[in-house]
Chain A
Amino acid sequence: MKKIKNNNKILSKEEIIHLANLSNIVLSKEEITKYQSQLTDTLEYIENINKLETKGVDPTSNVLDLQNVFFEDGDENKRSLKNVLKGYFTVKRVL
């Protein structure tokens, strides 16, 4: 694809080996060289993200506005009300 510009990070062979170890993946010599250039290319592409000013912006981990759901005592959670003794659940001996 495009040539790598000087100001961008180029991944070293050692870094690729480190990443493979982190990922529990075994690489051949050829693969190390291949991924070195391919992952560097991808890194170069994603640099454009710095064009977006994100100071003071909250991160999104999930696109939904989900909130905690609570149930009133009732059918949904009746089971949990069984076998209660002095405020504790009683269960069969395990030991």
Chain B
Amino acid sequence: MNLIGKSLLDIKNLISSKKISSSEVYDYFLKRIKKYNPKLNAFLSFKNKPDITKSIDNALLGIPLGVKDNFCTLSSQKEKTTAASLVLDNHYSYYESTVTRRLKDNGGIVIGKTNMDAWAHGSSTETSDYGSTKNPWDMKRVPGGSSGGSAAAVSSYIVPATIGSDTGGSIRNPSSWCGVIGLKPSYGRVSRYGVIAMGSSFDCPGTLTMSVEDSAYLLKIIAGKDKYDATTSYEKVPDYYSNLNSKKKYVIGISDEYFKDVDNEVKEKIINALKIFEKQGHKIKKIKLISPKLAVSIYTILQRAEVSSNLARYDGVRYGNNRTYFGDEAKRRIMFGSYTLSYGYYDAYYKKAQKARTLIIEDFKKAFSEVDLIISPTTPTTALKLGEFKKYPFFGEIMDILNEPASVAGIPAINIPVGLDSKGLPIGLQIIGKSYDEQSILNLAYMFEKETDFFGVIKKGIKKYE
């Protein structure tokens, strides 16, 4: 059966009505990975046959999924977890991340591990020690990052859905540039246990999918309190999928600060989308927010500090290779973190940034007393050419400028495609919500999907790989 373009839930229905078996589905996607991955480099590793599982007779019915290579996974076959760094080139995990554990317990099958910026440091996937992933829309361009492999894999339909992680835009940025749906949940909504730590106070596992329903369905499976991660919340996990049909009208906030330095073509499509939301009966309201440029500085200081501490454990003594295997970007970040944490600079940078972080949190809280959701572009431009990032080492943060404020505040956000630019590249819109209000984000995205089908962007992406 030709499954092309079928969403995760479509496939689930086909399996449950016995129109296709889960092993046929596995073989279908395996074939596609084998055909397209040599060009795309979206998967770092994949398995020729599914792992033996206890039962696939539940929520995910044995559907194959791609998982970013910074999630520790166990497999009945040999499966590495490298975070795309040569430091972990020979690393086989001894335990399973909570996210992949939950997926597997619900009948999901990890078909392979997706490419990423090494240690999730970057916005292009070019810092991967195993070569950059290519953007499925244009092989000369980057897919964005750091979950670039996860985004490219969904966009080219070599797997129906993937898991990524977002520290400062790492799900939203590649989703935007590859034209798929990328959800970064609230901090603490999804367990970080078994995810190779980058910025521990920012890291959020999330989903990359081709429909809003799939995002809602997967989020419920992976979200919730985890006894292995003390920072997960006791907040009840709603049935995001069943609640999707809400007819609620929202007050949507927009801030001028989030439209500065944004390409005109991107701006146009966002404004066009806002008109559609208005037509649907939602209210658009202008709000004031602290400049995202300041959030970038706060993010840079705190995240680099957390990186320098988290990557200190890679000494090559217990596992992995020694520190000479670190790439350029990791070294840059570790040293910068060491600087802002060092004697004499701690108060001026680290502590100052922690205080400023409080201001960003309060700024959003104030905004959300006036509006339900906030909309902005996801990225200031569409996908850049390979090699452009290398010219400017700080460029990645500039590309994530509109994503980092929500990361600093720990609040949820989603990317949805809203059209193509004149080069034929996808443009993404970001919806930001209140802490633990993923439901409203998904609802609004769902209403947009019903109305516009994302202007066919997701379908056009897949069509290139029919």
Contacts and interface: CB of A to CB of B under 8 A. Distances in A.
A63 B410 contact: yes
Interface string A47-76: 111111010011111111010000000000
Contact of B336 (A42, A58, A63): A42
Nearest to B339: A19
Contacts of B93: none
A49 B233 contact: no
B187 interface: yes
Interface residues of A, number: 36
Contacts of A27: 331
Nearest to B351: A59
Contacts of B94: none
A63 B201 contact: yes
B55 interface: no
Contacts of A46: 297, 300-301, 349
Contacts, number: 115
A48 B338 CA distance: 20
A16 B188 CA distance: 36
B101 interface: no
Interface residues of B, number: 46
B394 A45 contact: yes
Given A38-B393, A49-B352, A57-B358, A62 B201 contact: yes
B3 interface: no
Contact of B300 (A15, A45, A51, A54): A45
Contacts of A50: 352
Nearest to A27: B331
B297 A57 contact: no
A57 B393 CA distance: 32
A48 B354 CA distance: 15
A27 B336 CA distance: 14
B-side binding surface: helix, strand, loop or mixed?
helix
A64 B231 contact: yes
A95 interface: no
Nearest to A67: B234
Interface string B398-414: 00000000000110000
Contact of A63 (B293, B294, B312, B361): B361
A63 B308 contact: no
Interface string B296-315: 11101100000010001001
Contacts of A41: 393-394
Contact of B335 (A19, A49, A58, A59): A19
A23 B338 contact: yes
A22 interface: yes
A84 interface: no
B251 interface: no
B222 to A, nearest CB: 18
B359 interface: yes
A61 B305 CA distance: 12
A49 B301 contact: yes
Contacts of B335: 16, 19-20, 22-23, 25, 35, 39
Interface in B310-358: 312, 315, 323-324, 326, 331-332, 334-336, 338-339, 342, 349, 351-358
A45 B435 CA distance: 29
A6 B263 CA distance: 31
Contact of A62 (B231, B297, B298, B331): B231
A52 B356 contact: yes
Pick the 10 closest A-B CB pairs, nearest first.
A63-B410, A59-B354, A54-B355, A46-B297, A49-B297, A60-B357, A19-B335, A57-B355, A22-B338, A60-B358
20 contacts: A19-B342, A22-B338, A22-B342, A23-B334, A23-B335, A24-B312, A24-B323, A26-B324, A38-B393, A38-B394, A39-B332, A41-B393, A42-B394, A47-B297, A49-B301, A52-B359, A54-B352, A57-B359, A59-B354, A59-B355
